[in-house]
Amino acid sequence: MKLIRSNWLVLGVTAAFASSTAVADDPSSADTSDWKCTQCPFAQGYSGDAELGVLGASGANATFGRYTGIDHGGAYADAAASGQYRNDDGSYANYELDRLGLASRDGYVEGGREGRYDLRVSYDGQPNILYDTGATAYRANGSTLGLPAGWVSAGGTAGMSSLGTSLAPVTIESERRTVALLGRYFASPSWTVFGEFRRQEHDGTGLTGASFLTEAVQLAQPFDYVTNSLETGVAWAGRKASVRVSYLGSWFDDDYSSFTFANPYLPIVPGSTLGQLATPPGNTLQQLSATGNAQLPWRTTLTFTASVGTLKQNAAFLPVSALPGAQVPTPDSLDGDVHLSHYALGLASRPLSKLSLRGNATYDGHDDKTSPLTLPYVVTDTFPGGTALTPRYSEDRVRLDGGADYALAHWIKIGVGGKLDDIHYGPGQVVTWTQNAESWGRGTITPIAPLSITLKIGNALRKASSFDATALPPEENPLVREYDYAPRDRVFYTLTGAWTVTSTLTWSVEGSIAKDDYRSSPLGLQAVHEQRGSTNLTWTPRDTLSTYIEGGYERLFNLQSGYNGLDTTPWLAADAQRFWNLSAGGRWVPQQRWTLSLDYLLAPSYDNTDTTAGGLQQAFPQNWTKLDSTRLDLAYQWTPAMQIHFRYVRETYRSNDWALDGVGPSSVPNLLALGVQPFSDNVNLFALTVRYQFGRDGTTPQASK
């Protein structure tokens, strides 16, 4: 969007904002001069608790430990603590530390003075242990993956005679550690200055692949990412309007600028003994944003956002290949420069008590100003491929959406709405525009006060410009319509219901059907059908007992077609994914000292793929997963200050995946795989902890002025 239009928009928003602030403030008529609040037990002093214990796990592995950090059998320390301090001068401090004995530990410490300022420091550890079943012949040395001495290269994995003795276990795992520092200064009840610095370190080993023309390898790739971000700004809040202006800067870097790996196969061309992959380049995002709202007459609210930014990267290029004598091309970096913009205006109004109206207009610009480059390239570090032009992708997206709801009577409400999503693509893409127009209607009936049923029905039609298959090499079959560009007809239905049967029994249900039809695309995606249903029943007969049961079902069906070239009719592939979940549980306090809670979850999924080509139908083996989990928590209040907590978790996870089942390093002639296997576990976990509360209750009556 050109500058003049941006200015026009900002001026418009400012004018509307200014007019809204002219709406008179409405000072309270209450006289509070005699309100002493002498009986108010405001929190004071220090209180806290600490929990310490032991956690034992058997059968734990990467599947169970992926995000918890409990990835092997044995004992772990289980520790947590929290506390609060508050002084009568308004100064305070809080802290909360959790899972201190695990890699998934997190916590924060905050403090400040009420109404003046606050500071908060937080830490979050997040392990991600994906596979512990792989094995590799490669040995890592910094950013180089080499093969052991005596490695026997061959034209296929079966001929790699030293493979068996070269394999060493490898775990695909990483850890994300985030430290954040947040500060706010309340210059006045209306003005706030804020800033947040966040540093996220993410390092470990990822699973990647690479090939030498037709021969591929799976690699355990080391990475070491750091993202620093700073968001700072100022906010002003009046009684009828508010505005927030902020700056966001985010800097990403990878300590590995590339990594090199040996070719385990006999080189297809002499000298092609090494491969080199580029790692994600360091990049910088900077944005300036203003967002706000204004209360207008007729119970109308205006909201607005204006945001502009740039996304840049200029990392040095690698040589065009790892072949001897390969050069870094000219220019030697991209000088990538993408301009991002987001402007939005929303209006919501209730001019009548029975009528609500809302409308939003949003513009998103992704303007890639990077100069396209024509560069020489080498195919998979094997042989020169000529030169190619790097395409750049820009798009302008405008969304208009709105709706209205009207209460015909106290028991029935109807609504209509629509959305227009208009995307125009930059030059050099296979389509120049798509437009998705959606409309819907809904009705809510409340035949009796505690029962409410809502039905929503809608359709959406996506159109696209003519398709130019030659616009982007490599050229696609001109009959295919790429998924996100393809014309599409969609119908959808949603039914939701909630019923408070009695004061102790509630029931809710939700169901939806969506059908996408891509049949104007001769090849590619033809249809997607999605069906979902879920229900929830809760029963709380008394304060000391609450129970629930919930279940859900989902079916996702995809139909696609392709063209083998030699066949006279396209092939078809149909995929049906089904997923169930059933959970039940409750919480019971049989005596004042005891609390018991029990939760059970069963969640299986099935995925069936069938293909048809040349009149021959073939079915893939069924992929399936099954999660079966039980959790028991038992707490005993030994003394007023001490609680003993016992936890037991039993989890089994089983899965079948034809892409991984039985696929070892040498199963595929032209793929030296890591041989990772589908997720599976059978875990029993026990935890016994003691929680001790200390400090006084912290409530002392005092006068507020």
Residue numbers 318-357 binding other proteins by CB under 8 A: 318-321, 328-329, 334, 336-338, 340, 342-350, 356
Output the smallest distance, CB 363 to other proteins, in A: 4
Output the smallest distance, CB 283 to other proteins, in A: 5
Q: Which two tokens stand for residue 275?
A: 């491969």
126 contributes a contact to other proteins by CB under 8 A: yes
- How many angstroms separate the CA atoms of 573 and 607, rounded? 13
Chain centroid offset of residue 571 CA: 34
- Segment interacting with other proteins, rule: CB under 8 A, options 143-151, 160-168, 400-408, 587-595: 400-408
Q: Which helix (H) or strand (E) holds 613?
A: strand 594-613
74 contributes a contact to other proteins by CB under 8 A: no
218 contributes a contact to other proteins by CB under 8 A: yes
| Three state DSSP letters for 130-142 | EEEEEEECCEEEC
Q: Is 5 helix (H, G, I), strand (E, B) or coil?
A: helix
C-beta of 119 vs 603, nearer to other proteins: 603
Kindly tell me which residue out of 123, 247, 507, 563 binds other proteins, with binding defined by CB under 8 A: 563
- How many angstroms separate the CA atoms of 681 and 686, rounded? 16
| Residue carrying the six token digits 């092997």 | 72
C-beta of 9 vs 545, nearer to other proteins: 9
Output the smallest distance, CB 148 to other proteins, in A: 22
Please name which of 632, 641, 697, 595 lies closest in space to residue 50, comparing C-alpha atoms.
Answer: 641
466 contributes a contact to other proteins by CB under 8 A: no
Amino acid letter, 572: L
492 contributes a contact to other proteins by CB under 8 A: no
167 contributes a contact to other proteins by CB under 8 A: no
177 contributes a contact to other proteins by CB under 8 A: no
Chain centroid offset of residue 41 CA: 42
- Segment interacting with other proteins, rule: CB under 8 A, options 51-59, 165-173, 285-293, 630-638: 285-293
Output the smallest distance, CB 253 to other proteins, in A: 9
186 contributes a contact to other proteins by CB under 8 A: yes
List of residues 6+ apart from 574 with CB closer than 8 A: 557, 558, 559, 609, 610, 611, 612
- Segment interacting with other proteins, rule: CB under 8 A, options 49-57, 236-244, 631-639, 686-694: 236-244
Output the smallest distance, CB 56 to other proteins, in A: 18
Please name which of 492, 363, 498 lies closest in space to residue 9, comparing C-alpha atoms.
Answer: 363
- How many angstroms separate the CA atoms of 45 and 50, rounded? 17
Please name which of 625, 624, 623, 645 lies closest in space to residue 634, comparing C-alpha atoms.
Answer: 645
Q: Which helix (H) or strand (E) holds 159?
A: none
Q: Is 305 helix (H, G, I), strand (E, B) or coil?
A: strand
Output the smallest distance, CB 150 to other proteins, in A: 26
Q: Which two tokens stand for residue 80?
A: 């947590």
- Segment interacting with other proteins, rule: CB under 8 A, options 54-62, 142-150, 591-599, 600-608: 600-608
- Segment interacting with other proteins, rule: CB under 8 A, options 13-21, 72-80, 162-170, 638-646: 13-21
List of residues 6+ apart from 444 with CB closer than 8 A: 412, 413, 414, 415, 452, 453, 454
Output the smallest distance, CB 573 to other proteins, in A: 6
272 contributes a contact to other proteins by CB under 8 A: no
Amino acid letter, 3: L
Binders of other proteins among 362-381, rule CB under 8 A? Answer: 362-364, 366, 368, 370, 373, 375-381
- How many angstroms separate the CA atoms of 321 and 378, rounded? 6
DSSP assignment string, 440-468: EEEEEE-SSTTEEEEEEEEEEEEEE----
Kindly tell me which residue out of 137, 170, 311, 460 binds other proteins, with binding defined by CB under 8 A: 311
61 contributes a contact to other proteins by CB under 8 A: no
Give the pairing of strands 671-672 and 215-237: parallel
277 contributes a contact to other proteins by CB under 8 A: yes
- Per-residue x/- track, 22-41, other proteins (CB under 8 A): -x--x-xxxxx-xxxxxxxx
Binders of other proteins among 93-122, rule CB under 8 A? Answer: 104, 106, 113-115
Output the smallest distance, CB 112 to other proteins, in A: 10
301 contributes a contact to other proteins by CB under 8 A: yes
Q: Which two tokens stand for residue 334?
A: 């991209």
For residues 305 and 250, the answer to whether their CB atoms sit within 8 Å is no
- Segment interacting with other proteins, rule: CB under 8 A, options 50-58, 72-80, 299-307, 460-468: 299-307
- Segment interacting with other proteins, rule: CB under 8 A, options 139-147, 161-169, 468-476, 591-599: 468-476
Output the smallest distance, CB 456 to other proteins, in A: 11
Please tell me the count of residues contacting other proteins according to CB under 8 A.
Answer: 228
Binders of other proteins among 508-537, rule CB under 8 A? Answer: 508, 510, 512, 523-525, 532, 534-536
